[in-house]
Amino acid sequence: MKKDFLSITDLTENEIMHVFARADAFKKGERSSALSSKSVVLVFEKASTRTRVSFEAGISRLGGHPVVLTPDASQMGRGEPIKDTARILSGYAHAIVMRTFGHSRIEEMASWADVPVINALTDLLHPCQVLSDCFTLKQRFGDLRGRKIGWVGDGNNMANSWINAASLFGFDLWLACPEGFGPERKIMDAAISRGARIELVGDPRDAARDAIAVNTDVWASMGQEQEAGLREEKFKGFQVDSDLMALAASNAVFMHCLPAHRGQEVSEEVLESPRSIVWEQALNRLYVQMALMELLMQERNG
Ligand code: CP
Ligand code: NVA
């Protein structure tokens, strides 16, 4: 049976431990030819720098061949249905990595494809990023159980994925979002029912206080460009600056998935400060995704 990765919750705790151990080995220079003679199709319906390059590079390092499809250069952009594309790609490739808009598009791809489908970001979730961010935090702080992590800003795909991660890693997640811009209620409720400890607050200071990590993301995500002006108004007061970081734990780090907008969700000073681990986060995407592909693609031959 193939296994997809559409959400962090698609992995068991044991699988996550295995992925992190392999990612650590890859980071230390371990080589693998797990994808030798295998192809991976990367469907990008939205822009990307880190995700696209880290997947392409990771596939090459594992001995595989990446094929990138974008809407303008494929029949997908001319209206060929996902269910048709999924069945065609399954014959040529051994996995499909997809970045798209509505989450239902990747669910449809996964339901029709008979190879593993990996979520490279949807409007709802960004699981590869948050899985990798949890690896980055565990490398620095060890066990995350009972530690406080703060989220400041939009309750977007990143925030939703942090909520999913909270029950798996056992940290306390405090989210400060402007009124009307909170995370997806269904994801919160499901995480809480799995035992996640999540606090939704209105004041960024409550999210940052004593946290080991203060996290933020853009105020207007891809697809929300027309709302950028309105969001800039509504998100005033939700910038992670030095005053906010001063409330966090003395060894706290600043996190951002990037790209960052200096002067909006984060000040230049914080982004460039020694507390900022954004470059390490971006680098770790490569190793964690290599480990993830190795896990998901291990059963499939031919
Ligand atoms: N963080 C992240 O996913 O970056 P890209 O949009 O550049 O892939
Ligand atoms: N929330 C952002 C993340 C970009 C990596 C977006 O969806 O555009």
Which ligand is the nearest neighbour of the Cα of 258? 1
Question: Under a CB-based contact definition with an 8 Å cutoff, are residues 35 and 297 in contact?
Answer: yes
Closest ligand 2 atom number to CA of residue 258: 5
Class of residue 247 by CB neighbours under 10 A (exposed 0-12, middle 13-18, buried 19+): middle
Atom of ligand 2 at shortest range from CA of 50 = 5
Query: Tens digits of per-residue pLDDT, 198-257?
Result: 999 999 999 999 999 999 999 999 999 999 999 999 999 999 999 999 999 999 999 999
Assess whether 143 and 188 both reside in one domain.
yes
Name residue, tokens 């469907």: 43
Q: Are residues 109 and 138 in the same domain?
A: no
Ligand 2 contact via 245 beta carbon (within 6 Å): no
Tell me if residue 87 is catalytic: no
* 159, 127 Cβ separation under 8 angstroms: no
Q: What is the pLDDT of residues 26-60, one digit of tens each?
A: 999 999 999 999 999 999 999 999 999 999 999 99
Residues 82, 230: Cα–Cα separation, whole Å: 33
Same domain? 107 vs 222:
no
Q: Are 166 and 193 in contact (CB under 8 A)?
A: no
Same structural domain, 111 and 180: no
Domain holding 206, by residue range, is 128-277
Whole-structure pTM value = 0.98
In this structure, what token pair is assigned to residue 62? Answer: 């594992």
Q: Is 285 a catalytic residue?
A: yes
In the annotation, is 217 catalytic?
Answer: yes
* 177 is annotated as an active-site residue: no
Question: Residues 21, 49: one domain?
Answer: yes
Closest-CA residue, ligand 1 atom 4, reads 50
Ligand 1, closest atom to CA 51?
Answer: 8
Q: Are residues 273 and 138 in the same domain?
A: yes
User: Is the same domain home to 136 and 234?
Assistant: yes
Domain count, the chain: 2
CATH code of the domain in which 139 resides? 3.40.50.1370
